[in-house]
Amino acid sequence: MAGIVKEEKGKEATRDGYGKGLVKAGIKNNNVVALDADLSDSTRSEWFREKFPDRFFSIGIAEQDMIGTAAGLSLSGKIPYASTFAIFSERAFELTRNIISRNKLNVKIAGSHAGLSTGEDGKSAQAIEDIGIYRCLPNMVVIQPADAVEAEKAVVALLDYKGPSYMRILRNPLPIIHDENYKYKIGEGEILRKGKNAVIFATGTMVHESLKVADILKENKTDVYVVNIHTIKPIDKNLIINLAKKTNNVITAEDHNIIGGLGSAVAEVLSENYPCRMLRIGMEDKYGESGKPDELYEKYGLNAAHVARKVKDFIKKK
């Protein structure tokens, strides 16, 4: 559990953190290789290609081939990081399941441009089911960093996990809430704000909206925990249970379908260990549409103002 965040220090996309992390992982371990499906400029894996051209493989618009090649490289002793857009990674789901996950191969998959925050690209590109898809696979670690610093450190941390993983990264710049001394640990949630009336477990962009929510509610003398769940699987069960016991009011916030994502993961933990009041905030089993991210967050109730009202009403109904 990391320390409390006090201020924001600029903005950077988590895909940039992924690119920086790839380079650091490549420097740290000569067996690291990178693959991309013709989107290396967008996923930032091109930064690895510029540093290690002999260890980069451009597969083209052929995601199934990318996953199959990554599997072969893994069996040859390499540590492959394979990236594309989140929605396109789903084209290779069967291969990910039957080759990567089932055999626990050491392949790290990154899906960029996920969620409603993808904006003008529209619902065909806004993956709102990817966390649920990958979370259901045995052996698969599922990560969504909250800022670029965390993304960079998560990429390097995955070197120590011998098995498959999926990292959800984003195009839009997000506030930097961690400094270079931040210690990232897979599976360990991070308390960003402390409270007493409720706890918000958030991931990705919704970590930032939830921090704003805490400020809004503070003005109304309501204090809430804000917890960054950067690892949806394995999820930090102990932290979830402990904070549920302290508040008895649990909220989850995610830019993802409320079915299958963080909300489902937290509900599973609590239903088996500490049933309590719970509210899931996210995409309510519907697709988005084309528009600016801020406009879409307003329309679909994901911005801080909407979330604050939902949380306030939820607490009042107790």
CB 215 within 8 A of CB 243: no
Q: Which of 63, 129, 152, 190 is catalytic?
A: 63
The owner of tokens 């600016």 is 292
Output DSSP code: residue 235: -
The owner of tokens 């800022």 is 147
Q: Which residues pair with 127 in a beta bridge?
A: 114
Distance of CA 184 to the CA centre of its chain: 14
What residues have CB less than 8 Å from 4, skipping those under 6 apart? 191, 192, 193, 194
Phi and psi torsions of 300, nearest 5°: -100, 10
Q: What is the DSSP string of 60-106?
A: -S-HHHHHHHHHHHHHTT-EEEEEEEHHHHGGGHHHIIIIIITTT--
Residue 63 falls in the annotated catalytic set: yes
Which positions are catalytic?
A: 63
